[in-house]
Amino acid sequence: MNTKNIEARNGRAAMVISLDFELYWGMRHLPSVNSYVRNLIGARIAIPAILELFREYGIHATWATVGFLFFERTSQLLKIAPTRRPLYKNTKLDPYSDLPPESEHETSDSIFFAPSLIRMIAKTTNQEIATHSFSHYYSFEDGADIESFRADLHSAQRAARLSNFEVTSLVFPKNQERRDFLEVCAEAGILAKRGQLLRLADSRYWTPSKNSSKPIFTALFIAPGLFGTASSCAHQKRPDSCGKKGTALSPVVASAQLWLRLSSEL
C-alpha cells in the first residue's frame, strides 16, 4: 500500500494485495481460538508457499504485521511496549494479560512470535512490511482513546525499526478506523491505510482534516475470498473516463468488512 509503489502511471490505477499477519494475536479473543491453533501453526507452511506464488507471478503485496510478532520472547516485547495502554471495558481484549511465559520463543510451531517469517517476507521481491498496530489495537472498543493509540503506533514503529524496517502503511485491526486516529497516523508518517469505510459519500470517515500536513491514501476492496483476505487498490489519479486526465480525485471506497472475516465477532 506504500504510495511510492502504487503511484498511478499512464492514467492507470495500481493494485496490491494486503494481508493481515497476526497469528494468535488476531484470534485470541474468539471462543474458537483453541480449535484454530492448528491453522495458526499452518501459517508457517502457507506463508512460504504464498510467497513463492507471489514471486513467480510478480505479485506485489502488503503484509500488515502485528508488532508483537517482531520479537523472540516476551521480555523483548515488554521493553518496547507502551506504558499507556487502552483500558478496554471488555478485559478479554487485553493482549498484555495473555502474553506467553518467558520460556516461550519462536519455534517451528510458534503462534506468538514470528521474526523469521517477517524476514522471509521482507526478502521476497515486491513485498512490503506494514503495521497492523503493535498489540492488535481495537479502535472501536470502550477504553480505546487517541493517546493509547498514539503510544501503540509508536511502539509498532519502534519494533519494526529494530528489525531495520520503516513502516509507512497501516491496516486497522478488524478494519476499525477512527477519523481522529488518522491525525495520529499522519503525524507518525503513515502514508497509506486500510480500514472500515462504510459511508461512501461522507468524507469525514476517512479524510484527514485540513490541518493535516500529509495526505493518507485509502483503498478499494474488491476481491472476496482471495487468500482469506482482501485486495486493495489505492491510487492518486483515475483514467480519462473518470475525469480530466491528470486530475487528482478521491479514490472510490467500499467497506472491507463486506469481505473480511464475516463470521468473526468480538
pLDDT tier at 56, thresholds 50, 70, 90: very high
Q: Say if 257 falls within a structural domain.
A: no
What CA–CA distance (Å, rounded) separates 15 from 11?
13
Q: Say if 35 falls within a structural domain.
A: yes
Q: Say if 87 falls within a structural domain.
A: yes
Q: Say if 49 falls within a structural domain.
A: yes
Its pTM surpasses 0.85: no
pLDDT tier at 245, thresholds 50, 70, 90: very low
Indicate the SS3 state at residue 57: helix
Q: What pLDDT does 260 receive? A: 35
What integer is the mean pLDDT of 39-68?
A: 96
Please check the confidence at residue 230 and state whether its pLDDT lies above 80.
no
* Phi, psi of 98, deg, nearest 5: -125, 20
Query: What is the tally of structural domains in the chain?
Result: 1
Letter for the amino acid at 64?
A: A
Q: 91-100 pLDDT, tens per residue? A: 999 999 999 9
Q: What pLDDT does 195 receive? A: 75
Residue 79 domain boundaries = 14-218
Q: Say if 262 falls within a structural domain.
A: no
What integer is the mean pLDDT of 103-132?
A: 96
The number of CA neighbours under 13 Å toward the Cβ of 71 is 23
Helix (H) or strand (E) holding 62: strand 61-65
What integer is the mean pLDDT of 166-174?
A: 95
Average pLDDT, the chain: 78
Please check the confidence at residue 251 and state whether its pLDDT lies above 50.
no
Share of the chain above pLDDT 70, in %: 67
Q: Say if 246 falls within a structural domain.
A: no
pLDDT tier at 45, thresholds 50, 70, 90: very high
Q: What is the DSSP string of 187-242?
A: HTT--EEE-----TT-GGGTPPPTT-SS--B--EE--TTBTTBEEEE--SB--GGG
Nearest CA-CA partner of 213 in 249, 184, 248: 184
Q: Say if 205 falls within a structural domain.
A: yes
Q: Say if 250 falls within a structural domain.
A: no
Q: In CATH, what number is assigned to the domain containing residue 30? A: 3.20.20
